[in-house]
Amino acid sequence: MGPERFYSSGPYWDMRNYVELARPLNGIIAFISAWLGGVFASRGMENGQSLLLNKGLWLVSISAFVLLSAGNAINDYCDYEIDRINRAQRPLPSGRIRRRDALIFAISLIALGIGLGACINIDAFGIAMLVSAAVVTYAFWLKRTPFVGNLLVSGLTGLTFIAGGVAIESVEGTLVPAMFACLFTLPREIVKDLEDTEGDRKNGVKTLAILNPRLAVNVALGCLASVILLSPIPYLFGWYSGIYLVVVVLGVDLVILYLGIRLWRDASKESCAFVQRWMKWDIFVGLGAIYLGTFW
């Protein structure tokens, strides 16, 4: 049976397919990251209730959600041939969404994300423009270059926290979570490349995982080790309370240690899929640790 088997549930504009294309779980992580960036930056400036009423913080969090969704859509547009091998069940390779419609969807989201940034302040507008340019550059060019694309994605992840601070005009308190977000995202992106080597190789994509798989594994392991080694520092310097240390050691460091050992022993597609999936969920634990350590 061909892609037409999917059409029975509705036409190309079935919104369920576009929701799947946007991958809302990733967007929710971006929303929470931007919101928490504002929360961390606001300590000593505003109380929790006023933050709930802060228009700028709401707008920047929604903008982060929208721009990440746009990035996912335009990434799938560019990866159409690759995903026919690696992820044939996704809306584009399965035929549930036409490529041109996915591109229009992505452009619309980019315009919305930039517009939301413009409603906050000039710095937020600049960040929205920068992020939009970065996701397009990544999807069309940098994703196919060794390591550079991975660095860009990790940098954008960290920038999400800073954007939350920019919305309330203070970035103090956002730099530590931004740094950990970068260190956490970089190995996950490398592991995703290791998972996708079959389709990437057939389509001429030259990621680090293609050129030197063992080096890619070692770089990912090095980043994970850095997260574990650096995680106690905010507590030791008195930036976060003891509850941060407890949660981050038990809920993040031990999980990372297990995932790192698994990756070192087995870098197969199935193992990499397991590792990167658990790393995504562990992000929420890390965010919770920083939040608890900041306010408790």
Q: What are phi and psi of 174, to 5 degrees?
A: -100, -15
Q: CA dist 279 to 46, 111, 195, 253, 273, Å? A: 32, 30, 14, 11, 10
Total domains, the chain:
1
**The three-state (H, E, C) secondary structure of the chain, written as one string:** CCHHHHHHHCCCCCHHHHHHHHCHHHHHHHHHHHHHHHHHHCCCCCCHHHHHCCHHHHHHHHHHHHHHHHHHHHHHHHCHHHHHHHCCCCCCCCCCCCHHHHHHHHHHHHHHHHHHHHCCCHHHHHHHHHHHHHHHHHHHCHHHCCCHHHHHHHHHHHHHHHHHHHHCCCCCCCHHHHHHHHHHHHHHHHHHHHHCHHHHHHCCCCCHHHHCHHHHHHHHHHHHHHHHHHCCHHHHCCCCCHHHHHHHHHHHHHHHHHHHHHHHHCCCHHHHHHHHHHHHHHHHHHHHHHHHHHHC
Structural domain boundaries enclosing 55: 3-295
What pLDDT shows up at residue 86? 87
pTM: 0.90
CA distance 38 to 164: 4
CA distance 97 to 106: 12
Closest among 262, 131, 116, 282 to 194, alpha carbons compared? 262
Residue 23 CA from chain centroid, whole number: 11
CATH number at residue 199: 1.10.357.140
Q: CA dist 296 to 46, 122, 290, Å? A: 16, 33, 10
Q: Per the structure block, which two tokens stand in for 4?
A: 């037409």
What pLDDT shows up at residue 44? 54
Q: Per the structure block, which two tokens stand in for 166?
A: 């920019």
CA distance 85 to 69: 22
pLDDT < 50 positions in the chain: 1-9, 46
Q: What are phi and psi of 260, to 5 degrees?
A: -65, -45
What pLDDT shows up at residue 256? 98
Other CB atoms within 10 A of residue 233 CB: 11
What pLDDT shows up at residue 13? 62
Q: Per the structure block, which two tokens stand in for 207?
A: 């990621």
Q: Could you read off the pLDDT of 197-244 as tens digits, one per residue?
A: 988 888 888 899 999 999 999 999 999 999 999 999 999 999 999 999
Cβ burial 22-50 (10 Å sphere, 16+ → b, else e): bbeebbebbbbbbbbbbbbbbeeebeeee
Q: Per the structure block, which two tokens stand in for 84?
A: 């026919």
Cα angle 112, 152, 127 (rounded to 5 degrees) comes to 35
What pLDDT shows up at residue 7? 39
What pLDDT shows up at residue 3? 43
